[in-house]
Amino acid sequence: MFEARLVLEAVKELITEANFEVSGGGITLQAMDSSHVSLVALSLRSDGFEHFRADRSFSMGMNLNNMAKMLKCAANDDVITMKAEENSDVVTFLFESAGQGRVSEFELKLMDITSENLGIPDTEYSATVSMPSTEFQRITKDLGSIGDTVEISVTKDGVKFSTNGDIGSANVICRQNLNVEKQEEQTVIDMHEPVSLTFALRYLTSFTKATALSPSVVIKLSKELPVVVEYKVADFGYVRYYLAPKIEDEEMEEQ
Amino acid sequence: MFEARLVLEAVKELITEANFEVSGGGITLQAMDSSHVSLVALSLRSDGFEHFRADRSFSMGMNLNNMAKMLKCAANDDVITMKAEENSDVVTFLFESAGQGRVSEFELKLMDITSENLGIPDTEYSATVSMPSTEFQRITKDLGSIGDTVEISVTKDGVKFSTNGDIGSANVICRQNLNVEKQEEQTVIDMHEPVSLTFALRYLTSFTKATALSPSVVIKLSKELPVVVEYKVADFGYVRYYLAPKIEDEEMEEQ
Amino acid sequence: MFEARLVLEAVKELITEANFEVSGGGITLQAMDSSHVSLVALSLRSDGFEHFRADRSFSMGMNLNNMAKMLKCAANDDVITMKAEENSDVVTFLFESAGQGRVSEFELKLMDITSENLGIPDTEYSATVSMPSTEFQRITKDLGSIGDTVEISVTKDGVKFSTNGDIGSANVICRQNLNVEKQEEQTVIDMHEPVSLTFALRYLTSFTKATALSPSVVIKLSKELPVVVEYKVADFGYVRYYLAPKIEDEEMEEQ
């Protein structure tokens, strides 16, 4: 339940409506943000649910803000059940309090949404950075108060985030750091070749709405390819964000 | 003191000015909200005050927001005294800190307010529901995020709150529940005959501003009569709200 | 670091840009607010810094909001270093995390600001009141909800704050109070002659943004002179505010 809300919070700033694809294997969702710049992909495997049954594969178009409104009506320790009948135009959320003194039934109207499922090829990335998700959130927020874009550069020594703005400039360097007790507090840099790409900060900042989902974030970079920013959902899924690099940056690099 | 502020918070969203009726027996207030849809009645018995003296009965017209502004100027552990002289056009609030290092005197201008005291007949209600006030607050808030009106239906099994809106519909059923340790956490349903009435949610939501006053709320319903929503003020008074049911509902029931 | 942010919060509501004067002795700043009514003076001695070196005296014009933006990018336990090169048009803030896993470098553009350093003569004040800073903050906030100006009157018995407004009036009397354990909770009145002056409340309220800097505030009053409101910065500096009394008050006193 808790995770259902966190997942929604993680994606509803970027996308307002989306098709949830349900099958025996679980639930997936893929959608571009309204400005068609970034892509969100969500996957939740069926074995992560206490109980999961899907007799056939189908798609449910939902307004994510309305879905979030209804999920907010569940108390934290309620048992949540989501039910959808074949050919129904609603999905039902059932919230039962411990002891079942209160039973709430919320029906959300479904929508027809034209979806455009993009195949995302599996790629070998030039550099993969794993770092604490709160640190990545803080850096995008801090740099966002100075400039509009961020250059992310990975060398074997560390990852550098740089920005420029009217009031000045900023550089944050995070070094590889394996000497911490918890694995999720480590900064791990896995680099095949150095890479330096520039991105719009406001999208990266939106991606960090997923910070509550996972203590660490994985960032994958390759020249001319969209960056992948990935947050695990417990041990049964993920939210991934894709964002194309700024062309200007490419040009600057070629000079 | 603490209660004085809570009582004000409980009523000042609905009514901005009102006559406080003071007599040897205590303080009462009765006023309709500015749209003349709901009625608020407050009663505080004199024995609930540490010290109370009224040589005669009189009425003090006050702007509740201004009164709240002045009461906010008292520190939590100040001793508060309210004083009014005969024929004066001000009421004085005296706040004394423990040890009396600080003494504050606030004078609030009184107003002439035309009051219209309605006699509220004592009625035998079809159904009386007592439930945790936070639960009632949560339900009105949750349903208010879906629809504009709520149908409250009481049967011997429980009380059902239902709403409908553009995004979908919702139903919350609370069953009688006596198996909890504290009396104020019980849901008790006392029903002579089933009753089902529809109300504007935004008024019910305003009534729940009184939630901090009492852990439980009592809701009294009878066909074609205004609902009564009652919160106790410690053991020496109450705030009661009255709201007429929607006529449309009556028509729907008759069909 | 913590203090650097508190000092900025204390002054940036009143002044948006200012010249920081740096010399071997420390850092000072003096500026009038944008409406040229009140004056802020800041002084931080060099011995209060962990490490301080200034090879020559110079002035750095900064936008305080932009400076605050950059200082917000330091984590609470970062080591902060401020660096300025001769003839540079930027100042550099360096934030290093414990263990130096993260190193951030923020460059803030400097500005040319015409400064008008006023000599403030040392004066023997008629009355000096030292009181808990939170109490002074609370009084200016409370009276500000009733009226626009406050009359501050000091007699040997105490200090009285009075205001008048549309909704009524208010008086708060604080008596000398030496019988408290901590010195900063004392109210100490040092009076050569009684004094009564009237000030615009909104400036006093702005001054109390410095409350977090020090548990006590010192208020110095003399007829026809600006009031001084002083907050200590740890044991190595101060923030002082100056505000001229209202002329109307002088006239009223003369009647």
Number of A/B CB contacts below 8 angstroms equals 52
Sign of CA dihedral A206, A208, A211, A217: positive
Burial class (CB in 10 A: 0-12, 13-18, 19+), A248: exposed
Question: What's the gap in Å between the CA of C70 and the closest CA on chain A?
Answer: 8
Give strand pairing partners of B113: none
Same-domain pairing of A211 and A185: yes
* Nearest-angstrom CA–CA distance, C208 and C137: 5
User: Are the CB atoms for B225 and B150 separated by under 8 Å?
Assistant: no
Of A48, A81, A109, the residue that ends a domain is: A109
All chains having 3 or more CB pairs closer than 8 angstroms to chain B: A, C
Same-domain pairing of B143 and B169: yes
User: Are the CB atoms for B120 and B43 separated by under 8 Å?
Assistant: no
**Average of pLDDT values for B198-215?**
97
For residue range B161-178, what is the model confidence (pLDDT) as tens digits?
999 999 999 999 999 988
pTM: 0.90
pLDDT at C3: 76
To the nearest whole percent, how much of chain C has pLDDT over 70?
A: 96
User: Are the CB atoms for A126 and B199 separated by under 8 Å?
Assistant: no
Q: Name residues 107-166 of chain C within 8 A of B (Cβ).
A: 135, 138, 142, 145-146
Same-domain pairing of A143 and A234: yes
Q: Which among B135, B169, B187 has CB closest to A107?
A: B169
The answer to whether B108 contacts C145, with C-beta atoms less than 8 Å apart, is: no
Give which of B5, B13, B27 is closest to B73, Cα–Cα.
Answer: B5
* Nearest-angstrom CA–CA distance, C60 and C136: 33
pLDDT at A87: 82
Same-domain pairing of A64 and A133: no
* C179 in A contact zone (CB under 8 Å): no
Same-domain pairing of C158 and C237: yes
Give strand pairing partners of C130: C188, C218
The answer to whether A173 contacts C102, with C-beta atoms less than 8 Å apart, is: yes
Same-domain pairing of B133 and B102: no
Contacts of A100 in chain B (CB under 8 A): 175
Same-domain pairing of A155 and A243: yes
Provide the number of structural domains found in chain A. 2
CA distances from C153 to A177, B213, C222, C244 (A): 61, 40, 11, 15
The answer to whether A170 contacts C104, with C-beta atoms less than 8 Å apart, is: yes
Residue C241 maps to a domain: yes
Give which of C247, C243, C210 is closest to C33, Cα–Cα.
Answer: C243
Residue B119 maps to a domain: no
pLDDT at B250: 47
pLDDT at B1: 55
Q: Name residues 186-225 of chain B within 8 A of A (Cβ).
A: 187
Question: What's the gap in Å between the CA of B251 and the closest CA on chain A?
Answer: 25
pLDDT band at B117; cut points 50, 70, 90: confident
Contacts of A84 in chain B (CB under 8 A): none
* Nearest-angstrom CA–CA distance, A11 and A21: 16
* C76 in A contact zone (CB under 8 Å): no
The answer to whether C107 contacts A168, with C-beta atoms less than 8 Å apart, is: yes
B3: number of Cβ within 10 Å: 15
Same-domain pairing of C210 and C158: yes
Question: What's the gap in Å between the CA of B60 and the closest CA on chain C?
Answer: 15
* Nearest-angstrom CA–CA distance, A102 and A193: 58
The answer to whether B104 contacts C173, with C-beta atoms less than 8 Å apart, is: yes
DSSP string, A157-169: TEEEEEEEETTEE
Mean pLDDT for back-to-back runs of 10 residues, chain A (255 residues): 82 94 94 92 93 92 96 91 90 89 96 83 93 97 97 94 98 91 89 96 97 97 96 94 81 44
pLDDT at C248: 61
Contacts of B105 in chain C (CB under 8 A): 170-172
Question: What's the gap in Å between the CA of B164 and the closest CA on chain A?
Answer: 9
Tokens of C118: 């006023």
pLDDT at B173: 97
Residue A205 maps to a domain: yes
* A178 in C contact zone (CB under 8 Å): no
Give strand pairing partners of B168: A108, B165
* Nearest-angstrom CA–CA distance, C189 and C192: 10
* C250 in A contact zone (CB under 8 Å): no
Same-domain pairing of B245 and B136: yes
Of B109, B135, B150, the residue that ends a domain is: B109
| Phi, psi dihedral angles at A252 (to 5 degrees) | -60, -40
pLDDT at A249: 47
Of C82, C109, C136, the residue that ends a domain is: C109
Q: Which among C75, C104, C108 has CB closest to A167?
A: C108
3-state secondary structure string across chain C: CHHHHHHHHHHCCCCCEEEEEEECCEEEEEEECCCCCEEEEEEEEHHHCCCCCCCCCEEEEEEHHHHHHHHCCCCCCCEEEEECCCCCCEEEEEEECHHHCEEEEEEEECECCCCCCCCCCCCCCCEEEEEEHHHHHHHHHHHHCCCCEEEEEEECCEEEEEEEECCEEEEEEEECECCCCCHHHCEEEEECCCEEEEEEHHHHHHHHHHHHHCCEEEEEECCCCCEEEEEEECCCEEEEEEECCCHHHHHHHHC
* Nearest-angstrom CA–CA distance, A244 and B135: 47
* B105 in C contact zone (CB under 8 Å): yes
Question: What's the gap in Å between the CA of C110 and the closest CA on chain A?
Answer: 9
Measured in residues, chain C has a length of 255
* Nearest-angstrom CA–CA distance, C243 and C249: 14
If you search the block for the tokens 């040897």, which residue do you land on?
B24
All chains having 3 or more CB pairs closer than 8 angstroms to chain A: B, C
pLDDT at B254: 40
A24 is in which domain, residue-wise? 2-109
Same-domain pairing of A104 and A138: no
Q: Which among B63, B101, B106 has CB closest to C177?
A: B101
Assign residue B139 the CATH number of its domain: 3.70.10.10
Same-domain pairing of B51 and B77: yes
Residue B92 maps to a domain: yes
Tokens of A18: 């989306």
Same-domain pairing of C135 and C245: yes
From A94-103, B130-139, B216-225, the region with the lowest mean pLDDT: A94-103
> In chain C, whose CA is at the least distance from the CA of B103?
C173
Q: Which among A75, A104, A107 has CB closest to B168?
A: A107
Residue B225 maps to a domain: yes
Give strand pairing partners of C169: B107, C164
For residue range B36-58, what is the model confidence (pLDDT) as tens digits?
899 999 999 999 998 999 999 99
* Nearest-angstrom CA–CA distance, A210 and C13: 34
* Nearest-angstrom CA–CA distance, B66 and B1: 16
Q: Which among A138, A167, A179 has CB closest to C109?
A: A167
Tokens of B250: 């009556």
Residue C244 maps to a domain: yes
Residue-by-residue pLDDT tens, chain C, 255 positions: 567 888 999 999 999 999 999 999 999 999 999 888 999 999 999 999 989 999 999 999 999 999 999 999 999 889 999 999 878 899 999 999 987 789 999 999 999 998 777 788 888 999 999 999 999 999 999 999 999 999 999 998 899 999 999 999 999 999 998 888 888 889 999 999 999 999 999 999 999 999 999 999 999 999 999 999 999 999 999 999 999 999 764 444 443
pLDDT band at B149; cut points 50, 70, 90: very high
Residues in CB range of C53: below 8 A, 6 or more apart: none
| Phi, psi dihedral angles at B175 (to 5 degrees) | -90, 155
A178: number of Cβ within 10 Å: 9
DSSP annotation of A117: P
Strands A79-83 and A58-63: unpaired
* Nearest-angstrom CA–CA distance, C73 and A144: 10
Residue C237 maps to a domain: yes
Residue C117 maps to a domain: no
If you search the block for the tokens 């009143």, which residue do you land on?
C14
Q: Which among C145, C167, C173 has CB closest to B63?
A: C167
Model confidence at B252: pLDDT above 80: no
DSSP string, B80-93: EEEE--TT-SEEEE
Sign of CA dihedral A224, A225, A226, A228: negative
* Nearest-angstrom CA–CA distance, C149 and C155: 20
* B167 in A contact zone (CB under 8 Å): yes
